[in-house]
Amino acid sequence: MSRPRSVPVAFPTFAVGALWPAIVDRALAERERWALWLPVLFGLGILSHLAWPVEPSVTIAGIALGVCATVLLLSRGGVRPAVLAVAVIVAGVFVAALRTAAIGAPVLDRRIGPADVIGRVMAVDGTGNRQRVTLSGVSVDRLAAARTPARVRVRLAAGDATPEIGGRIRVRAIVFPPPSPSEPGAFDFRLQAYFDGLGATGYAIAPHRRVAGPEPGRWDAARIALERLRRHIAARVDAAVTDPATAKVTAALMHGEQTDIDPEVMAWFRASGLAHLLSISGLHISLVAGTVFFVVRAMLAAVPPLALRWPLKKIAAVAGLLAATAYSLVVGAPVPTVRSLLMTALVLLAVLVDRVAISMRSVAFAAAVVLALFPESIAGVSFQMSFAAVVALIAAYEALERPLARLRATERPGRGLLHYGAGLLLSSAVATVATAPFSLHHFQQVAPLGLIANMIAVPVTAFVVMPMAIVVAIALPFGLDEWPIVLMGWGVGLIVETARIVAGLPHAVVRVPATPSSALAAVVVGGLWICLWRGGWRWAGLLPVALGVGLALSAAGGRPAVLVDDDGRLVGLMDGDGIRRFSNDRAGAFDIQTWRRRDGDDPETPVPLLPPTGRTAGGIVCTRSACRMEREGVVVAWVRARAGLGDACLTAQIIVTALDAGQCGAPTVIDRTALIRDGPHAVTIADGTWRVTTVRGESGRRRWTGVSSGG
């Protein structure tokens, strides 16, 4: 019996052994591409750190990195690349651990209030009754300084006046820890908040009051000045552009803040595939730098003495770089902007030293710098989608270099317009395909008609909106900005209308249930393999891509049968017809939208509710005290009144209630005690068995969860 069992093991071992020399030869033939994998390995180390269930020790990570560096120095021959790869991964772990420890800002661990919150206003976003302020230098009643967050975001009371940027205010508010994920595996705002220094959120119960306090430090003063500039730009745009929706989008393109945009307009941009135009990234930075470069060069060339004596191209490159840097600072330097600025800087610096920038290497350089400065950004959708789009675009243009060269060499009327249209079509198609896996994973939707919308909106952005934005920036100090703002608003209005029309077309949005992280990881690995190598073996990357698609499809029907929020006020039961029915549509509106989106449903449609009494078409039976459903032989009871608890504990395998269930004898009890301890719960039922996952169990004990166990 031993021989037959050894065959399946021996065969793949023999196959790998036979293929290994060919793999090594192929890798050696593309030695110049090895450097492109260094940021990938560095990012893998960062992801390992972020996914660790407990806080890794900076000291241990540093020692491990030192050991790897020593072994690397002593290693020779073919083992050296493998040692370098391990060292880069460990370096990612160390940098992420160092960054996490360096933030060190406290995170609130419990609800506090009503209490007086005092702090300096660093930012104001939203309008009307949706105004929020971000406060720094915070003090909170009855909270020790060592436990007080560095920054707090508070929603102002309805009708409250807009506070002055940079002023110190006192506001009576209720504050609580940053919200946990709506369900296990969903987006964790706490991680982003921690690295932003935001340790609490809350809402005011009374209007704010101005209070005296010390002057801000130099760093805070610079940030306040930029924030005041953003608000001034927004006010000038509001005064010049009559349509409110167009005005908010125009202002967002000028100062980078999207929170003032109406939610309906944001939905149009997402559904039409134009949301990338609102994220200040490669298109915007390159247009600013390129426009300034060509204008400055043309102006200087028009003066013969300067054209003969000065290096006009290099002067224009410096001007373009300064303009792009200034624009990046004004919009707040988010990750896509920093990445784009670094790549643009490489191209312009290459002009200064009379060299040609290597595009894919510039992407690798930008990724390495961004990850070294902001390692947490790798978990953000903006980093993932922006780099995916750029890497795919460069790889596509590398692969199509010869056909595109032949197209450029053709002589025919309208050649320039033809080339631009072909390039725009190719770029939009490649970027759409490259970012689709991330859109499906993070937002559970993709916009297949985005290609149509981009063919209209991108040229308008390139030839009208961004050039006018530069003119506005030049004219603003002199008070001559009204007419360029109006022209810019005209272009933005055309883009908004395009987004509205395309979003309203049939099948503009394709929605899918949430996909597992393993599916996205497999697609990313395969995509990188295809894009970073150049030989025919790159197409082996289609195998992990196919694996990722298979994992996503297999998980499509595996959504949890039961979802419970962190206090039990909101429960979602998936009935036999695949419809999730909710305990109410008032509490937890954000959680309802998140759960429905992750189910693959349209969150804007009416919310299906559990009935007060009676039976749903999908088999859920409700009385005044409890609702009961049976899935694959497993009975679930949601108990909403204590009168229904006794019978449910005797007949159901799973009990869900916001009450304290006491000595309930059911196999699984999700009650008030469990929810306080572990946060939101999810129950998945398959083949007559069930599995319970919790946010606390998935998130671990990390600094951003408010429960750290090391570091």
Q: What rounded mean pLDDT belongs to the chain?
A: 88
Q: State pLDDT tens for residues 441-462.
A: 999 999 999 989 999 999 999 8
Q: What are 168's strand-pairing partners?
A: 120, 211
408 vs 82 pLDDT, higher one: 82
pLDDT band at 11 (very low <50, low <70, confident <90, very high): very low
Instruction: Determine what percent of the chain is predicted with pLDDT higher than 90.
Output: 54
Question: What pLDDT, in 10s, does the model give residues 195-242?
Answer: 988 999 999 999 999 998 888 888 888 889 988 988 899 999 999 999
CA nearest to 176, candidates 567, 702, 596:
567
Q: What local confidence, expressed as pLDDT, does residue 382 receive?
A: 85
Whole-prediction pTM value?
0.88
Residue 370 in tokens: 């961004």
pLDDT mean over 579-606: 90
Residue 6 banded pLDDT, cuts 50, 70, 90: very low
- Neighbouring CB atoms inside 10 A of 617's CB total 9
- The per-residue pLDDT for 37 is 95
Give the pLDDT confidence score for residue 487 in this predicted structure.
95
Question: What is the identity of the amino acid at 638?
Answer: W
Q: Could you say which DSSP state residue 88 is in?
A: H
pLDDT at residue 574 is higher than 90: yes
pLDDT category at 3 given cuts 50, 70, 90 is: very low
Radius of gyration of the chain (CA): 28
Lowest mean pLDDT among 44-48, 253-257, 355-359, 676-680: 355-359
Q: What is the pLDDT of residue 366?
A: 86
Go through the chain and tell me how many residues it has.
711
Average pLDDT over residues 256-273: 89
Q: What is the pLDDT of residue 5?
A: 42
- In this prediction, residue 342 carries a pLDDT of 82
Q: What counts of helices (H) and strands (E) characterise the chain?
A: 25, 19
318-371 pLDDT per residue, tens: 998 999 898 888 887 776 778 778 878 888 888 887 776 667 888 898 899 989
Q: How far is CA 530 from CA 38, 172, 366, 538, 550, in A?
A: 16, 56, 20, 5, 18
Nearest to 170 by CA among 134, 116, 124, 206: 116
Task: Tell me, rounded to whole angstroms, the distance of Cα 631 from its chain centroid.
Answer: 35
How far is the C-alpha of 388 from the C-alpha of 436, rounded, in Å? 10
Higher per-residue pLDDT: 349 or 680: 680
Distance of CA 244 to the CA centre of its chain: 27
User: Residue 22: pLDDT band by 50, 70, 90 thresholds?
Assistant: confident
Q: Which residues, including other chains, have CB under 8 Å from residue 329's CB and lie 6 or more apart?
A: 226
pLDDT at residue 416 in the model: 67
- pLDDT higher than 90, residue 675: yes
Closest CA to 592 of 608, 610, 576, 616: 608
Structure tokens at 295: 């204008």
What pLDDT, on the 0 to 100 scale, is given for residue 2?
A: 40
Extents of the domains making up the chain:
2-103, 112-216, 517-554, 562-703
The pLDDT of residue 391 is above 90: yes
Quote helix, strand, coil % in the chain, to nearest 5.
60, 15, 30
Tokens at 76, concatenated: 């020779």
H-assigned helices in 104-158: none
Q: Is residue 681 within 8 Å of 693, Cβ to Cβ? A: yes
pLDDT in tens, 683-711: 999 888 999 999 999 988 899 987 654 44
> Is there a contact between 204 and 130 (Cβ–Cβ < 8 Å)?
no
Class of the 112-216 domain? Answer: mainly beta
- Say what the pLDDT of residue 4 is: 42
Rounded Cα distance between 566 and 547, Å, is 34
The predicted model gives 306-313 an average pLDDT of 83
Q: Is the pLDDT of residue 386 over 90?
A: no
Enumerate residues 6+ apart whose C-beta is below 8 A from 141.
112, 115, 116, 117
More confident residue, 425 or 607: 607
